Amino acid sequence: MLDHSTISAVLTAGMEEGADFTEIFVEDRQSISAMLDDGRVEELASGRDRGAGIRVVSGETTGFAHTADLSVESLRVAARTAAAGARGGTGKALPISASPRSAAGRTLPTILPENVDKGEKVALLKAAEDAARSENQAISQVTARYADSRRRIQVANSDGIHSADDQVRTMFSVSTVASGDTGMQTGRESVGRTVGFELFSETDVAELARTAAQRAITKLAARPAPSGEMTVVIGPGGGGVMFHEACGHGLEADLVAKGASVFAGRVGEKVASELVTLVDDGTMDGEWGHTTIDDEGLAVRRNVLISDGVLMDYMWDGLRARSEGRNSSGNGRRQSYRHLPMVRMTNTYLLAGESDPADIVADTESGVYVAHLGGGQVNTATGDFVFGMTEAYLIEEGRITAPLREGNLIGNGPAVLANIDAVGDDFSMGAPGTCGKDGQGVPVGDGVPTLRVHGLTIGGTAA
Amino acid sequence: MDYCNNESCSGAVSVPDRNFGRGVNVTKPGNDQELLKVAQDLVDASVGTEQVEVILSNGESTTVKVHSGEVESLTSAGSAAAGIRVIRDGRLGFASCGTLNPIVLSETLDSARDNCRFAEQDEHNGLALADGVDVVPQNLWSDSVLSTTVDQKVALALDLERQVIGLDSRVSTARSTSYGDGWGQAALASTNGISRVTSEASCSIGTQPLARHGDETQMGWGSDASRDPESLDLQKVATEAVERATKLLGATKPSSVRVPILLEPRLAVTLFGMVTGMLSAEAVQKGRSPFADRLGEQIGSELLNLVDDPTRSESLGAEEWDGEGLACRSNPLLKAGVLQMFLHDSTTARRAGLRSTGSAVRAVRGLPAPGPQLLVMEPGETSAPEMLRGVTTGLAVQSFAGIHSGVNPVSGDFSVGADGVMIRNGELAEPVRELTIASTIQRLLLGVTRVADDFEWLPGGSGACSVLIEDVSVSGS
């Protein structure tokens, strides 16, 4: 990527008018995606993106500029543009190492996707389609998508940080439509990991396709979801999105600092049932939200957010940490070199508990079992959050019974966290996700064991 | 869908630039013929019978975010993008890049060609053919955006924040207040002789005030967009945003009921925008639209008239040409609730034996697909106050949450989170939150019992009115 003299010239240009901090973030991203739809491999698309974002901070003000032109002249212009947005400061900079450091904690991809013939990628799509269509005659449409990306980043700043990462991600998804007397229903299943093409030696795309098909078929016979407050049991893996929304966003230090979080001022307090220990962990090798460094160049960490129900700490990026005189937690992330970093989650999960998952269901007189969740959304100021259920069943007299149609559930973060009364001894990571905040999307992972919560409102139409 | 979203996005400022990326200063504003020439030169490099289409964009943008009377961030940057579609023997390949560097563009063309080898043949694949429909000229450019200084932009954002904080003693801070603007140009050329170029500039402001009372916090939002920074209505934005935040203070969870819901124009667009998305011919042809067999049938209330019309110059979302370079046109979708047509690009049109409706939508870095461009609802005859007075018990919705996870465009199942204010005996009563609204898209369309005459053009471009929809499940405690 960029050499030492170019980087130094940019950092100097950022600091020469006096500033507290200058940073250059260089990114080189290449991606391939292939899609099969309506029985045909419709398209293969490739993308290439390369550029640098330069940030200059002075007090509470950040100036930012970016360019796709990595020549030293163009980078200097961008640095001066950014510096013009943030004037004043010490102008002091620490020297950086000659070459970027890589952080530990990554198993290198054994098969780089760029070295795999495109025909092999396309063949996976056909295999998935065949499997989905063979599963049941009611499957009327199948979409399969393959995508890989390689994102190389280099970060250097006036605090002396100079580090790099090479992030390879591979993902595959299948969406199905099933048609019956009651209309159409959909099913989806996906897998995504921060690994290379070896993903497919551990993942059977045909199995994935059958799961997606079965999900749609099951819903053909589904009844409308109930309406009103109920007890909800969430299956392993499927429910991480709930914690991401119920408290994850509210524990982002930038939102906390602006008074836009119900969790502001509550560190050290009990904010959840004592069964809840919640962790955000960027170090989970291979998981979708894994990196070795964050997008501010710091090694990612395993951060315990809630321990036995007590709020331990928020998640931090460099800017927020700097203004409060503490260290970043390695949660500064950005969508691309065109974006400013913000506090973001990585892989967020609830630690397993001690209950037998079967007992949790058996001990539930009536309620809803959610096997698979869709996306969600939260209003961090109130803590009200929603998430969608894409595979759910009624629980009647301690048994999982009739399948339910799709719907959203709504709850209030602090209330829901307090109302968790059982956590299973099973655990599974969920589907790969893209978390959106202020218009930026970043890959995130999540996971949960089986758990039970009271007082979520189910948005169904049944009385 | 494995997506999640932070609520704060809903009030985020965005410059309406559906088709245009912004960025690196390869060409200057007003010099758009140069951009078209770069596109045409790439098209001229086509070999044999291959079809090549090149779309390019570039531009610059500025975003100012302020907080507590200080500039929090100032972003100024240029960016560019290119998308190249190649069709060889009925096989489609696509490649894109984020620069107009000639070497990278040439590599991108090669990648698109190589990608063709792996896609399957489809006789309907092909670029758009000029269809003789004339472009409705639009004036999308603005000198005033470009002549506004950075200091003036900062002053606008600070002024908005000051107004927001001065309006109500319960509002002493905003999560974020911002001003954004940008100019962009886009050019499209193809081996079918299509050649288009447009320049556009616009600006916007937005704010998310926080209202506090005791331990409770509620967040509001407001935004405006324009082609002229001086005509941004700061006072209206501040007032609306503060009202939204304060109105919900003291909101509680309601008990579950089935009642009519009242949607203001902005929310009517959210709902009917999803409907028009389901009228894409691609969804229809691939068996993914619940309205596939309903052409000519009554799918909505007789009061509903919906048009997809990007030619409306009054709208900030107006466009001259679609994602394949065909002239945008007015497409009536629902007349008195009767389904009139589906939206086509040239591929779906060829498959159906029809002509494109000029409805190809795309990002520069993605392939075109048919879809709605600019939703316009025809106003009804009831005044908004009269509509409210006619409701004995109902819910005036303020915002939806979880639209992306709660609406299934294939089955039509609709279940979203919401907050708002209950209507009792024709008047706005107590605020409510932590509730869900459930029905199906099909039932919601037929359930429209009133369309108000309060038509307005929204900052996002759509034109809409308030509507009343009967018999909706509201779930609370």
Same domain for A121 and A25?
no
Whether residue A438 lies inside any domain: the answer is: yes
Which of B405, B443, B469, B470 best probes binding to A when mutated, by most A CB atoms within 10 angstroms? B405
Q: Nearest 5°: phi and psi at B98?
A: -110, 35
Is residue B469 a part of any domain in this protein? yes
For residue A357, report the phi and psi dihedrals to the nearest 5 degrees: -55, -40
A181-212: pLDDT as tens digits = 988 999 999 999 999 999 999 999 999 999 99
Residues of chain B positioned with their CB less than 8 A from the CB of A34:
118
pLDDT of A312 > 50? The answer is: yes
pLDDT, tens digit (0-9, with 9 covering 90-100), for A447-461:
999 999 998 999 988
Residues B262 and B183 in one domain: no
Q: Which of residues 414-443 of B touch A (CB under 8 A)?
A: 415-417, 419, 433-439
Per DSSP bridges, beta strands A347-350 and A366-378 are unpaired
User: What pLDDT does A362 receive?
Assistant: 98
**H or E, element range at B396:** strand B393-401
Q: Are residues B109 and B180 in the same domain?
A: yes
Q: Residue B4: is its pLDDT beyond 70?
A: no
CA distance A426 to A65: 47
Q: For residues B420 and B454, is the Cβ–Cβ distance under 8 A?
A: no
Give residue-wise pLDDT tens across range B233-279.
Answer: 999 999 999 999 999 999 999 999 999 999 999 999 999 999 999 99
CA distance B144 to chain A (A): 21
Give the domain extent around A414. 227-459
How much of chain B, in percent, has pLDDT values that exceed 90?
Answer: 91
Residues B238 and B384 in one domain: no
Residues A284 and A204 placed together within one structural domain of the fold: no
Burial class of A255 by CB neighbour count within 10 A (0 to 12, 13 to 18, 19+): buried
Same domain for B238 and B262, yes or no, is no
Strands A347-350 and A440-448: parallel
Residues 6+ apart with CB under 8 A from B376: B306, B307, B308, B309, B312, B315, B462, B463, B464
Task: Give the Å distances, CA to CA, from B141 to B55, B149, B182, B198.
Answer: 19, 17, 11, 9
Q: Is the pLDDT of residue A42 over 80?
A: yes
List, for residues B102-158, the tens digit of each pLDDT value.
999 999 999 999 999 999 999 999 999 999 999 999 999 999 999 999 999 999 999
Here the tokens at position B134 are 């004339």
Residue B316 lies in a domain: no
Which string of b and e fits A202-230 if b means at least 16 CB within 10 Å? ebebbebbbbbbbbbbbbbebebbbbbbb
Residues B48 and B188 in one domain: yes
Domain identity same for A96 and A125: no
Q: Across-strand partners of A57?
A: A21, A62
Residues A138 and A76 in one domain: no
Residues B208 and B226 in one domain: yes
Chain B segment 220-279 residues within 8 A of A by beta carbon are: 253, 256
Nearest to A374 by CA among A361, A383, A387: A387
Q: Does a structural domain hold residue B111?
A: yes
Shortest Cα–Cα distance, B255 to chain A (Å):
8
Q: Is B224 helix (H, G, I), strand (E, B) or coil?
A: strand
Distance CA A381, CA B217 (A): 6
Q: What type of residue sits at position A366?
A: S
Inspect the interface and report whether the beta carbons of B410 and A177 lie closer than 8 Å.
yes
Assess whether A52 and A76 both reside in one domain: yes
Backbone phi, psi, residue A376, to 5°: -150, 180
Interface with chain B: mutation pick from A410, A437, A442, highest number of B CBs within 10 Å = A410
The number of folded domains in chain A is 3
Q: Answer whether residue A75 is part of any domain.
A: yes
pLDDT band at B31 (very low <50, low <70, confident <90, very high): confident
A162-180 and A342-343 strand pairing? unpaired
Asked if A413 and A343 sit in the same domain, the reply is yes
The overall average pLDDT reported for chain B is 92
Residue B315 within a domain: no
Partner-chain residue, chosen from B4, B12, B434, that has the shortest CB–CB distance to A376: B4
Indicate which CATH number applies to the domain containing B216.
3.30.2290.10
User: What is the percent of chain A where pLDDT is above 70?
Assistant: 99
Of A66, A377, A410, the CB nearest to B436: A410
d(CA A344, CA A242): 16
Phi, psi of A362 (to 5 degrees): -60, -30
Mark whether A324 and A177 lie in a shared domain.
no
Residue B313 near chain A (CB below 8 Å):
no
Cα separation, A12 vs A91, in Å, equals 9
Same domain, A303 and A404: yes
Tokens 């706005």 label which residue? B428
Here the tokens at position A388 are 């969608």
CA quadruple B104, B110, B114, B120: dihedral positive or negative? positive
Name the phi and psi angles at A86, rounded to 5.
Answer: -140, 95
Res B26: pLDDT: 43
A319 to chain B nearest CA, in Å? 11
Chain B residue with minimal CA distance to A226?
Answer: B475
Residue B442's closest CA among B396, B395, B408, B419? B408
Distance CA A267, CA B191 (A): 63
Cβ neighbours for A433, distance < 8 A, ≥ 6 positions apart: A241, A244, A288, A375, A443, A444, A445, A446, B2, B3, B4
Report if residue B110 sits inside a domain. yes
End-to-end CA gap in chain B: 27
Same domain, residue pair B88 and B237: yes
Q: What is the residue-averaged pLDDT of chain A?
A: 94
- The pLDDT of residue B133 is 96
On the question of pLDDT at A356 being above 80, the answer is yes
The parent domain of residue B171 ranges over: 7-247
Q: Indicate which of A33, A46, A346 best probes the interface with B, i.e. most B CBs within 10 Å of its own CB.
A: A46
pLDDT value of position A98:
84
Return left, alpha or beta for B73; rule: phi > 0 is left, psi -120 to 50 is alpha, else beta: beta
Same domain for B120 and B178? yes
Residue B106: in which H helix or E strand, if any?
helix B102-116
Please indicate, yes or no, whether residues A82 and A185 belong to a single structural domain of this protein. no
Q: In the numeric block, which tokens belong to residue B236? A: 């209206």
CA pair distance B114, A32, nearest whole angstrom: 12
Per-residue three-class SS string for A315-384? ECCHHHHHHCCCCCCCCEECCCCCCCCEECCCEEEECCCCECHHHHHHCCCEEEEEEEEEEEEECCCCCE
A319 and A361 share one domain: yes
Rounded mean pLDDT, B35-42: 96
Element (H, E) at B244: helix B234-247
Q: Examine residue B304 and state whether it is found in any structural domain, yes or no.
A: no
| Stretch (H or E) spanning B156 | helix B150-166
| C-alpha to C-alpha distance for A165 and B291, rounded to whole angstroms | 48
Nearest to A278 by CA among A369, A378, A351, A228: A351
Work out the end-to-end distance of chain A between its first and last CA atoms, rounded to an integer number of angstroms: 61
**In the predicted model, is pLDDT for residue B27 greater than 60?**
no
Can you give the pLDDT at residue A97? 86
From residue A67, alpha-carbon distances to A207, A256, B36, B252, B470 in Å are 43, 31, 22, 48, 52
Distance CA B147, CA B65 (A): 20
Share of chain B above pLDDT 70, in %: 94
Looking at the structure, do residues A238 and A279 belong to the same domain, yes or no? yes
- The reply to whether A158 falls in a domain is no
Residue ending a domain, among B217, B247, B277, is B247
Residues of chain A contacting residue B417, judged by C-beta atoms under 8 Å apart: 377, 384-386, 408, 410, 459
Interface of B with A in 34-93 (CB under 8 A): 67, 70-80, 92-93
Of B322, B37, B359, B327, nearest to B189 by C-alpha is B37
> Is residue B116 situated within a structural domain?
yes
Is B416 within 8 Å of A40 when comparing Cβ atoms?
Answer: no
Task: Check if B12 contacts A (Cβ < 8 Å).
Answer: yes
Of the candidates A342, A359, A351, which has an alpha carbon nearest to the alpha carbon of residue A294? A342
* CA distance linking residue B153 with residue A356, whole number of Å: 59
A277: Cα separation from own chain's centroid: 19
**Sequence-distant (≥ 6) Cβ neighbours of residue A460 within 8 angstroms:** A224, A225, A226, A227, A404, A405, A407, B415, B438, B473, B475
A38 found inside a domain: no
pLDDT at B449: 98
For the segment A222-243, the average pLDDT, to the nearest whole number, is: 91
Report residue B10's pLDDT band, with 50, 70 and 90 as the boundaries. Answer: very low
Is the same domain home to A348 and A205? no
Q: What is the 3-state secondary structure (H, E, C) of chain A?
A: CCCHHHHHHHHHHHHCCCCCEEEEEEEEEEEEEEEEECCEEEEEEEEEEEEEEEEEEECCEEEEEEECCCCHHHHHHHHHHHHHCCCCCCCCCCCCCCCCEECCCCCCCCCCHHHCCHHHHHHHHHHHHHHHHHHCCCEEEEEEEEEEEEEEEEEEECCCCEEEEEEEEEEEEEEEEEEECCEEEEEEEEEEECCCCCHHHHCCHHHHHHHHHHHHHHHHCCECCEEEEEEEEECCCCCHHHHHHHHHHHHEHHHHHCCCCCCCCCCCCECCCCCCCEEEECCCCCCCCCCCECCCCCECCEEEEEECCEECCCECCHHHHHHCCCCCCCCEECCCCCCCCEECCCEEEECCCCECHHHHHHCCCEEEEEEEEEEEEECCCCCEEEEEEEEEEEEECCEEEEEECCEEEEEEHHHHHHCEEEEECCCEECCCEEEEECCEEEEEEEEECCEEEEEEEEECCEC
Whether B221 and B262 map to the same domain: the answer is no
Whether residues B168 and B262 share a domain: the answer is no
> Tokens at residue A429, please?
């990571």
Total number of domains in chain B: 2
pLDDT, residue A94, reads 84
Tell me: the pLDDT tens digits for B210-220? 999 999 999 99
Whether B187 and B264 share a structural domain: no
Instruction: Specify the pLDDT at position A463.
Output: 59
The CATH number of residue A92's host domain is: 3.30.2290.10
Yes or no, beta carbons of A37 and B6 under 8 Å apart:
no
Render pLDDT for B67-77 as a digit per residue (tens, 0 to 9): 999 999 999 88
Q: Which two tokens stand for residue A103?
A: 């952080």
CA distance B382 to chain A (A): 29
Domain assignment present for B354: no
Where do we find the tokens 């002024």?
Answer: B159
The two tokens of residue B316 are 């900030």
| Residue B263 and residue B215 in one domain | no
C-alpha radius of gyration, chain B, whole number: 23
Residues B382-401 have a mean pLDDT of: 97
User: Which residue out of B25, B299, B475, B477 would a mutagenesis test of the A interface target, given it has the greatest number of A Cβ atoms within 10 Å?
Assistant: B475
Is the pLDDT reported for residue A425 higher than 70?
Answer: yes
**How far apart, in whole angstroms, are the C-alpha atoms of residue B195 and residue B39?**
9
Residues from chain A contacting residue B116 (CB–CB below 8 Å): 44
Question: Does residue A78 sit within a domain?
Answer: yes
